[in-house]
């Protein structure tokens, strides 16, 4: 089984480095919080270290017991009882979308889940920093700043990643994840392809091998269990997440699928409750039970869910405000009668 021997420099990683770099940092925070590990002291981070690599070097295992209810043949019930406090939610964005996309999320679903949510971006934003404090993670910041921002004493059970054009229905997410044990290997999301992706795995300077695997598209969001995140260590420590991505010459969400399915022998649990802008969102029904929703508002090609609400399409082109008022009618800015 292939294992990386070192990290990549930016020159060898090419244009993928920026995106993968954010994911390295994002997954580092994930693994830290999922495992109850402790952050490194700043001076121990060597040159070129990524946050994920330094974290995994100090990774410790803290197994939390599964609080499973009595099982019944007539009503099996959830495997685990989960709450918001069991989640680490990572939102990946970029500076140019702070106003265009992120403000909408902060006004809607993040407003009810800020304690569990961290925004990973590629630049500092003083206005946003004042609003959400240490929940804004600048991937270009120093390791010491990131350590202070993400340090946590408790082990969280689930890590979930969404993009800045996703609406996350946390209630439905908890209902879905409660059907699985966080100590088991669970990788859940929605593929964007109808077949496994094909990739060429680099074995040596002259030898390649074709591999096939499923991956959950980052555009619809995906979740990793505590137990599975720990097993990703050999391919996500030091600089190895970037090295693994370069090894198959594919983006970050594909790389997660490659690690889980090809290298660990696991499998993607496909859920139709995750949605990206790549599908026809007008066909989505039963909004209350969906886990993620998305949108595309490109001129003459608008792709959003169809939902009745207090706001017109002109007032609410993404439909996220209308969705939020449907789910949380007690929100202060939602009209009382509609």
Residues serving a catalytic function are: 253
CB 277 within 8 A of CB 303: yes
Helix (H, G, I), strand (E, B) or coil at 76: coil
Other C-beta atoms within 10 Å of 41: how many?
12
Token couple for 22: 């954010």
CA-CA distance, 20 to 16, in Å (whole number)?
A: 6
Q: How far is CA 326 from CA 166, 201, 322, in A?
A: 16, 46, 6
288 Cβ contact partners less than 8 Å away, ≥ 6 residues apart: 169, 172, 326, 327
Instruction: Name the nearest CA neighbour of 24 among 161, 214, 178.
Output: 161
Kindly report the number of other CB atoms within 10 A of residue 249's CB atom.
14
Question: Do 67 and 81 meet the contact criterion of CB atoms below 8 Å apart?
Answer: yes
- What are phi and psi for residue 91, nearest 5 degrees? -110, 125
Buried b (16+ CB within 10 A) or exposed e, 168-195: bbbebbbebbbebbbbebbbbbbbbeee
Dihedral (CA of 96, 121, 190, 113) sign: negative
């Amino acid at each position: 089984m292939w294992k990386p021997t070192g990290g990549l420099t930016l020159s060898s990683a090419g244009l993928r480095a920026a995106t993968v770099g954010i994911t390295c940092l994002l997954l580092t925070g994930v693994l830290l919080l999922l495992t109850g590990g402790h952050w490194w002291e700043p001076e121990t981070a060597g040159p070129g270290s990524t946050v994920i690599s330094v974290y995994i070097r100090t990774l410790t295992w803290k197994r939390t017991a599964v609080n499973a209810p009595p099982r019944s043949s007539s009503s099996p019930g959830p495997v685990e009882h989960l709450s918001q406090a069991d989640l680490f939610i990572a939102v990946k964005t970029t500076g140019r979308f702070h106003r265009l996309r992120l403000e909408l999320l902060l006004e809607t679903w993040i407003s009810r889940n800020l304690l569990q949510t961290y925004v990973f971006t590629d630049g500092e934003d003083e206005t946003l920093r004042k609003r959400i404090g240490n929940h804004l993670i600048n991937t270009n910041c120093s390791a010491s700043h990131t350590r202070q921002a993400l340090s946590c004493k408790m082990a969280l059970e689930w890590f979930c990643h969404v993009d800045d054009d996703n609406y996350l229905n946390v209630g439905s997410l908890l209902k879905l994840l409660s059907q699985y044990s966080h100590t088991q290997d669970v990788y859940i999301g929605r593929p964007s392809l109808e077949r496994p992706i094909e990739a060429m795995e680099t074995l040596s300077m002259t030898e390649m091998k074709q591999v096939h695997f499923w991956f959950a598209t980052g555009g619809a969001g995906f979740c990793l269990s505590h137990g599975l995140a720990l097993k990703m260590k050999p391919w996500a420590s030091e600089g190895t997440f970037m090295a693994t991505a370069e090894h198959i010459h594919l983006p970050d969400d594909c790389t997660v699928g490659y690690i889980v399915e090809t290298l660990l022998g696991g499998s993607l649990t496909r859920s139709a409750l995750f949605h990206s802008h790549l599908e026809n969102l007008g066909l989505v029904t039963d909004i209350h039970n969906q886990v993620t929703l998305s949108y595309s508002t490109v001129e003459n090609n608008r792709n959003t869910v169809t939902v009745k609400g207090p706001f017109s399409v002109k007032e609410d082109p993404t439909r996220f405000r209308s969705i939020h008022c449907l789910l949380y009618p007690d929100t202060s800015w939602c009209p009382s009668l509609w």
